[in-house]
Chain A
Amino acid sequence: MEAINKIKAHIMSGLNDLIQAKERGIKIIGYLPGGYFPEELAIAAGAMPVCMIRGGNHACVEASIAYIDRWLDTFYRAQIGSGVSGTDPYYNIIDVLIAPITDSNNRALSDTLDYHTDIDIFPFGVPHKKEESGYLYYLHGLKRVKIKLEQLTGVEITKERLKEAILLCNKERELLKKISLMRKTETVPITSKDFVMINHAAMIIDKKVLIRYLESLIQELQEADSVNSKGPRLLLTGSTLAMGDGKILDLIEEAGGKVVIEEFAEGIKFYWQNVKTTGDPIEALAQAYFTDRIVPAWFRPAGERLNHLVQLAKDFSVDGVIWYQLMYRESYKIESYYFPEILEKETGLSMLTLESDYDPSEIGQMRTRIETYLESIRG
């Protein structure tokens, strides 16, 4: 598919685009994944947002050992390894790293980078409960981020500019949603690998360019045949699906499975709802990014996410669920213990839990487990 190829090529040249933008005086705003930093704020400040979503490299995990214990989430250890060692060009190019603090794992990244590097880190807390006081604290955090970005870029983030950015991001969300929903039917026109790739692209490449590509992609998909129509339909969920951590999707595909829907707070941009374009735009952002979105597992409690998973499993008519999480992400680990019972009760489906430390030696065992699971689904 031409649009897919173009997006891939654009991702490959993404770093160059950032370098060129920086040379033109445009500020590069790095941010941590998880969906709690509204890119709209960076866009409204005339800057380029880029999510630090690359992962999957075991060498980076190993490089982190000098700075942090191994008993933390793999993705964040990998980020520490690449960020502190200075080997990741994205960390070297950003002007600030916006760090929505969600749990101990990403707090460790924020603190460690702050201590060991010259990167300008801007942490702001995400409450773990959806209550009025939590909403207000998150809103306060967004206002602090706004001021920080205005100081950095010298651009005032006016209501008009913010509204414009919201409209742009809404467009991107709508297109992603439209593409994703195409997988509800029996004929699935796009592989999960490609969908994940375009979703990752939405976190790192220029929105206007991506929107053009997504529009062409939708046209192409409407005329496309189904991909791999025979395999069991799967929901893939878990903690983090980083760019570069493609082995899980490869293994599922190789075993004949077909992921038709993904749910990851880190690694899949939330595209189900738009930000309101009426009222105060920063409040609208807080409403959408904090109150309206589905919570990650580190919320207290996080039953809303589990209900969402059940609903996705029903809506996308899946035959099974694969829970792919990274080592030592405690909130997800605990949920993975009791969710299968809920899933079974609500849908009759079973679940396979897999864990990764980005270690290539895991692949053999993972492959066997996936094959066995798919066999059991096929009956």
Chain B
Amino acid sequence: MKYAPLLLLVTVAVLIALPWLVSGSMLNAAVQMLISALFAMAFGLLCGQAGMLSFGHAAYFGVGAFAAVHAMNAFGGEGLLPTPLLPLVGGASGLVSGLLAGYFSTKRTGVYFAMITLALAELLHALAPHLKTVFGGEAGVSSFRMPAWGIGFGSLNDVYFLTLVWTLVSIGLLYLFSKTPLGRLALGLRENAHRLRFLGYNTHALGTLIFAISAMFAGIAGALQSMNIEAANYVVLESHISTAVVLNSFIGGVRVFLGPAIGGAVMTFFGHVSSDLTRVWLLYQGIIFVLVMMFLPRGIVGELVERIRNPSGEGLARTISTLLARLASLAIAAFGAVFLIEFLQRVLSPEYRAGVTEGNWPDIALFSYDWAPLSVLPWAFGLGLFGFGIALVIMVNRRVAARKEAQA
């Protein structure tokens, strides 16, 4: 943990240098990653720190997105609200809507809380198409980023830096928040709200306030999103946005501070990369979530932190070689699985089915080879690799277990 500040510094330095390191398309993905990271951090405050699982966080993201677009149109990026400060509008609208929604939803806990957040978000989503003046109907509301403070905001670089600054500052503020009395009370709320009441705290007011602060940062993320694409459409209110932030945060690790950010960034990156390569990205996202929850219940970052805090006692070299062996075996299994899924998806796709005539099944190109779907070969290849990878994982695990036994 003593390397944490150094690691942080390097990360920030890389992020600042990024426009000179990667292509434009990658930089675009990086903007999305930053926004996802901030959105997940906002969710993490509520779910990870205060223990309130919201299924409707798209609502506050969306409110922030629309508020920013309207402010962009109203002020033209000048005067009181120059372009770089527009996310403040997103934050303010998130805060206000969060106070309102938080007031009602935090009257209940657990499943009932989750259901209320879901219902409120669905309510907004159902209303949006009918409120054309606010949500712009199917076409949405569009706008233009205007120059301000001597910055053009026309280029991708400018947008990237705007997003980067707001994301880093927001995450920094969230960190500081977690160290304040109210931030500590969020943990108390998660751990035992009943006890807090008997210590004299107003748990409903605490819950409402923390909900609102989470919604505020979600609103900032939403504003960054609409500023990036210079538009907002009511699809940002759809429930899959709410679901994605839950899954991303848990994959990263909702109880460790940067877990949700890493989860959001990594999954958005995968989404970006694979959207060109596969049509079943959502399936992979689901599989990754299930696997992480089954084998790394603390999330990726949570598990990493846990390993660093409680080292296995095998020494660094051993630990790393075991880790590499595990990763390599998993990569083989994953390749096998991906091969099978992609092959199956192609066989089952309507385009392919249309090409099948009278028992004549054309070959399918996958990973630069042509495979005959009726032959055993592709199936055996995928299954074989998958089985081989899993067998390797089991072998590695057995070895580790044997070593542990020998030590004990």
A and B bound? no
Interface residues of A (CB under 8 A from B): none
